[in-house]
Structures are given as structure tokens and as C-alpha cells.
Amino acid sequence: MSKSPLVPPSALEHDFRRVAVLFAGGPAPAANAVISTAAASFLRQQIPVYGILHGYSALVEHSRHRPVAVGRDYLVLDSKVLKRTRNSRGILLGTARTNPGKMVSSPAHLDDPERTKPLRTVYEALRYLEVDALISIGGNDTLTSANKMKMFQDRLPPGEPRISVVHLPKTIDNDYSGIDFTFGFFTAVEMLAEEIRNLLADAEANNAYFLTETMGRSAGWLSYGAAIAGEASLVISVEDIQGEFRNEESFTDAEGNTQTRPIMNVDRVIKRIVKMMLVREERERKQFGVIVIAEGLAEYLPQEYLEGIPRDDFGHIAISQVDLGKRFAKWIAEEYEHQTGRKRKVNGLQLGYESRCAVPHAFDVMLGSQLGVGAYRALVEEKLDGVMVSVSGQLDLHYVPFEQLVDPETLDTKVRFIEPNSDFHRLARFLETNINQ
């Protein structure tokens, strides 16, 4: 007779003295659901759990003279600390964007002791804490760090202890390969959609337009979702920079080689937006609306607009300093006046930060909780190492090896874009103002 599903699983054999949980990158709703359920899963098997504070920032500073310390650099996660945290906002462990693998951009670099020094420091800090497994929670960049930690250890001499690494995918951008939806995405979409709906009422009252720049560095999932749910007039993301809206630009790389990169044809994109505004006026008698653009379009600006903009440890430009929303609003207003001889108020603003630590929706809590439990199941039940936990269907768990998610030559993660002409892409095009009828 098969065992009833109501009977709890028995204790499993394992070799884990303790486990570390680390959160890195931008915040996301339901972060605490992931952290707390992951920790609780191990605590039920009497495996102690350390919560590393602020990503890798303390681990890379570990040394004989300043070893990682409880309270300052990590927390002991117990039932008292975890009490009623699953549905809470914010991040129990804090976060940071410190990148211990920033000097490693190819497999060959892993054989260079100088380039791998930060990775070794992280390894030694975790060994100092007697940690046998690391649960990494974060976005695409954090996944690259987890993979590099795994690859660094693969090159350790025989006999040196290994720390198993499991990664849990996090991003409100939802641009992860290997999983359908990431936790926090739907909460963020709903928050941004509500703001868009509020702006739409304001725009109608004032016969004006709002140009909202939403988060979404690499792909348009968040901007498209917010535009669809918020009833925006038009949405444009990096996936739309194709055909007449795309150019190429030459540049010289750090090694003095001439390279080319895709850039946006700003003039044609602006004209496309103004055409939509004119169609709304002529056909629908509407002199207002909300336009949504993804912040990732900043990466497609010609270099002349990016001079002086700093980059982070992962090589990304500081998008908030580009202020794309206000730039686009100015260009749109100027083009509208050029074509019509009339002025139209266009207000540019950024949306996104206010959604990252929102109270999570039920779906994100359920998804995040399953991912947290999945870390335990991957490490203890399945004895896996170097995998990302994924969820599909009825929150069914899957485990995707790092090598399926990372480019073998650059060690960068593979971004999941919205597929052009996919049903999701076509939904947004169907619901926005149609300029071709």
C-alpha cells in the first residue's frame, strides 16, 4: 500500500553541517517567502542555516584579520527569526550587487589565481563558517556568480572540501531562461499597472501624456505586463528595436579592437510614438494617454547619449542616471510640435523602485515558497550540485544544470526575451492603439 500524501517525509541521511542562504541583486516581492521556506526546510531536518547579509559584500572582505562575524555579516536563521516572514515585504537578509567573479569572463580565467582571488575569498569565508552548501538567490548576474563558484571549486585540488551550490531565480524582470515566471513578477506588474491606470486618469483630465519608463534592463516582460494590465496606449521594449528602428554603431573596445553594437534609431522610434498620438486624436478623439518604455532601451542609445554614465560590477550602465523617461518625453513633445504646430504636454517619469519591496501577491508567495523548498529538495533529497531550481505546471519542481543556462565561452547567462510575434507579444499589440486601421 502506498504511503498517504498526508504522512510527512522521514528524516533523510545527509552530510550537511550547516547551510548558507544569500540574496543578491535588486529586491523582489516574495524574497522573504523564498528565504524563510528554504531555511525552514533545512531546520526541520536539524540542519543549521546561516543567512548571509547583503549579498557577497561581506564574504569578499573576509580575512584572517577580519573574519566574517555573526550579527555584522550573517544571521543565524531560526524559527524565532523566521516567524511570520513569508508574506512580509522587503528582504530579511538585505542585498548588494558585489560581484566576486567580475574578473572572470572565460573558463581560462578560472586558472588565474589573481582573477579568482575574490571567489577563493568567498570560498574560504564559507569554509570558515563550516558551511557545506550555498543557496544563492538572485537574478541573471547572481546566477553567473553561482556558476563561477561551482566552476572554481571544480578546479580545486583533490581532497579540498566542496561547497554545493544551488541557485534560486529571482527578478521582477522575468527574463530568466529555464523558468516560465520568476517570483515577484506578478506583484510588480500589478503595482506598476495600478500606477499606469492612475496616470491614465490624470492624463485624461489634463489632455496630456505620460511617458513611463519601467524596469526591465534586458527584456520587456515587465513593461509589457504593466502596459497590458494598466491599459497603456503603447509599449516599446528592446525586443521592438528591429527593422527600421535599429541601426549599428562602431566603437573601440578595451583592447583597441573595432566592434559594432546595435543601437536604436531614435528618430524613427519617436516618430512612431507621435504617429500613435495623432491616430488617437483623429480616430478616437483622445488627446491623452500613457506610453510605456522599458529602461533597457537606454542600452540601445547611441554612445553620444551615454558619455559619463558609470557602470556597475557586471558592466551595466547606471540606467537611472540616463533618465530615459524624461529624455523621451522631451523628444516626443518636440516632434509632436514639429509635425502639428501645436504643443502637447508629455510628462516623463520612472516607475519600478516602488514595486520591488511591495507586499507580495499570493501567487508570488506560493511560487517563492516552492522555490525555497526546492533548494532543500535539490540538495538533500536529490543530492544535486550546480543546478537552478525551476517551477512549472502545478508548481512542479525541476532542476536545471548551470551549463544549460550559461554561455560556455563568456560565462554570461542566457537572457529570455519576449519572442516577436508570440501570442504574448501579439496581445500587447492587439490591445494598444492600432495605427494601421
Over the stretch 149-173, which tens digit does the pLDDT of each residue have? 999 999 999 999 999 999 999 999 9
Axis-axis angle for helices 423-431, 221-230 (nearest 10): 40
In the predicted model, is pLDDT for residue 2 greater than 60? no
Domain borders along the chain are 19-181+360-404, 188-356+418-431
Give the number of other Cβ atoms within 10 Å of residue 398's Cβ.
15
Report residue 218's pLDDT band, with 50, 70 and 90 as the boundaries: confident
Over the stretch 312-357, which tens digit does the pLDDT of each residue have? 766 677 777 788 889 999 999 999 999 999 999 999 999 988 999 9
In the predicted model, is pLDDT for residue 437 greater than 70? no
**CATH code for the part of the protein at 188-356+418-431:** 3.40.50.460
This prediction has a pTM of 0.90
Give the number of other Cβ atoms within 10 Å of residue 408's Cβ.
8
**CATH code for the part of the protein at 19-181+360-404:** 3.40.50.450
Over the stretch 58-88, which tens digit does the pLDDT of each residue have? 999 999 999 999 999 999 999 999 999 999 9
Same fold: 19-181+360-404 with 188-356+418-431 = yes
Smallest CA-to-CA distance from 273 within 317, 234, 324, 244 is with 234
Give the model's pLDDT for residue 15. Answer: 85
Sign of CA dihedral 312, 317, 319, 323: positive
Over the stretch 20-63, which tens digit does the pLDDT of each residue have? 999 999 999 999 999 999 999 999 999 999 999 999 999 999 99
Give the model's pLDDT for residue 71. Answer: 96
Give the model's pLDDT for residue 1. Answer: 47
